[in-house]
Chains A and B, each alone.
Chain A
Amino acid sequence: MTKQPEAFLPLSQATYYILLSLREVRHGYGIMQDVEVVSLGEVILGPGTLYGALSKLEKQKVIEKALVQDDDRRKYYQLTELGKEVLQLEFIRLKSLVENSNVFIKEMEGK
């Protein structure tokens, strides 16, 4: 039985950016580059960390192998339906976290 999307939350910062990068089909190095750009250089993934994360996420059926014909040396990935749900749920969770605390944090800054 596959796990419910809620069971994957909260995601680590690295995992969140990896899933976000798979809004398009990408290979491993493509993911590394996208994560660095989208996170404005905040998250720079090492290949060991990425490879381990991809294997784990694939096993959990959050992502899957994408078929790309003209490159047999690299493995390409895409989000599964479960993966899309996980990413969206995490986005909603983070967003409500920020929105719910926004007023109070601003108050603290004002003092």
Chain B
Amino acid sequence: MQKPIVGYSFNKPKTTRGTSMRSTMLQNFVVRLVSLSLLSLGLLQTSGAAMIGTQQGIQSGAQAARIVRIETILARDDVARQLVAFGVDPLAVQSRVANLTDAELLVLEGKLDKQVAGAGVIGVIGVVFLVLIILEFVGVTDIFKRV
């Protein structure tokens, strides 16, 4: 089971209890390794740097192409770190971020915890909450009768 990484500025999804210094160092190492390999991935993708991509061509009115590229590389790095922190196998992170578009990366950057995540099962907290409301409602009705 992957524990969340500590020591980064984004919101941590869960508690970091029981994470020993040693495993933290190991995880930091893994994150750096992933970041490094991502950086090389970024260089690979921009090796034909002076070619203008289709999406970039459509949007080129908005912002200088070079600024967009740098922003995207930073966003890719940030999203990769977040994925590791959210429990994704570091070995899978590279292909996951590689298939996100620039626009998707910029949306996810720093906000992975706020995105819609389809889960498929009614969460325990949700059920308890609903049951509580209904139970309270029944109890309250008794009080009305007494009055």
Asked if A and B bind, the verdict is no
